[in-house]
């Protein structure tokens, strides 16, 4: 029976994997910063040896995009150095490794969905540190390891756009939401299920990169409108441009990910974003 370590277990993706893991014949060990400091290589090695870990799913990340602009050292420690250590230990111990990355490694200036081998050019500290983590893993080349880039993640767990819209939508008569940033939301439960489906199929000599989000295309404005519609929240959504809502870290205007590679390689069927949003709202008790 596999012994699977899931880091960042209290986050959206880690929490969804935990929910789904009861259906998998494996021993899962879920850790967060309190249980395992992944910025300490000795701690990683000791934990993996003690628990006879043969698979690592790294969901841990410094995801405070705006705070990262002022806390580059902390963001780099989690998003880059920790990934480097996990890759080194995975290579040394012959462990499978799935690492989760982000669309923020791109600058968002494309005109068609990003493929895995498209040129990266992160404009934010968050994106720069996540790309550094990817590159470290690729350079170390542990076998049976993959990087999955995703985007616009939401869940019934943790803080996210869906919860924020519901909260403020119930408190206010109107909300201003950006319409000139385009992408596709990712329901963390769908990604969690995909990861669990992929695990037994991992068999690659060198690391591979894959893209995963739900199907479809929309703006944050469209997303907010649909959230209110499904939850039957009476709140007017007003479209605004990015420059009208300035933030410390720049966001990509175009975040569409081409998912052909992951679908073909692992025979995955990816749900449409509206279907997944409906399911999430049902789980939250917000679908009306």
Q: What is the pLDDT of residue 158?
A: 93
In the chain, what are the domain boundaries? 3-155+186-213+255-270
Residue positions annotated with a catalytic role: 126
- Tokens standing for residue 93: 């111990």
- The CATH classification number of 3-155+186-213+255-270 equals 3.40.50.720
Q: What is the pLDDT of residue 63?
A: 95
Q: What is the pLDDT of residue 287?
A: 86
Q: What is the pLDDT of residue 288?
A: 82
Q: What is the pLDDT of residue 184?
A: 97
Q: What is the pLDDT of residue 1?
A: 84
CA dist 136 and 163 (Å) reads: 34
The tens-digit pLDDT sequence of the chain (288 residues) is: 899 999 999 999 999 999 999 888 999 999 999 999 999 999 999 999 999 999 999 999 999 999 999 999 999 999 999 999 999 999 999 999 999 999 999 999 999 999 999 999 999 999 999 999 999 999 999 999 999 999 999 999 999 999 999 999 999 999 999 999 999 999 999 999 999 999 999 999 999 999 999 999 999 999 999 999 999 999 999 999 999 999 999 999 999 999 999 999 999 999 999 999 999 999 999 988
For residues 166-200, b (16+ Cβ closer than 10 Å) or e, as one string? beebeeeeebebbbebbbbbbbbbbbbbbbbebbe
- Tokens standing for residue 13: 């993706």
């Amino acid at each position: 029976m596999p012994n699977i370590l899931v880091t960042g277990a209290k986050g959206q993706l880690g929490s969804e994997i935990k929910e789904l893991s009861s259906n998998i014949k494996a021993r899962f060990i879920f850790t967060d910063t309190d249980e395992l400091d992944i910025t300490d290589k000795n701690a990683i090695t000791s934990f993996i040896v003690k628990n006879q870990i043969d698979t690592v799913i790294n969901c841990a990340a410094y995801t405070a995009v705006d705070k990262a602009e002022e806390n580059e050292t902390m963001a780099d420690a989690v998003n880059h150095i920790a990934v480097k250590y996990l890759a080194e230990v995975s290579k040394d111990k012959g462990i499978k490794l799935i690492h989760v990355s982000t669309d923020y490694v791109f600058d968002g200036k494309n005109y068609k969905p990003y493929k895995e081998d498209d040129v990266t050019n992160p404009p934010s500290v968050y994106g720069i540190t996540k790309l550094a983590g990817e590159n470290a893993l690729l350079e170390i080349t542990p076998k049976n390891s993959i990087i999955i880039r995703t985007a616009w993640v939401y869940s019934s767990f943790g803080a996210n756009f869906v919860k924020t819209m519901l909260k403020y939508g119930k408190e206010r008569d109107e909300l201003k939401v950006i319409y000139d940033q385009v992408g596709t939301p990712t329901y963390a439960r769908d990604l969690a299920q995909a990861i669990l489906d992929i695990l037994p199929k991992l068999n690659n000599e060198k690391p591979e990169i894959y893209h995963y989000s739900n199907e479809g295309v929309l703006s944050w404005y469209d997303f907010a409108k649909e959230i209110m519609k499904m939850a039957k929240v009476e709140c007017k959504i007003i479209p605004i441009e990015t420059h009208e809502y300035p933030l410390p870290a720049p966001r990509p205007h175009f975040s569409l990910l081409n998912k052909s590679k992951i679908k073909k390689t692992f025979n995955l069927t990816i749900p449409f974003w509206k279907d997944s949003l409906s399911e999430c709202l049902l789980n939250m008790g917000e679908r009306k």
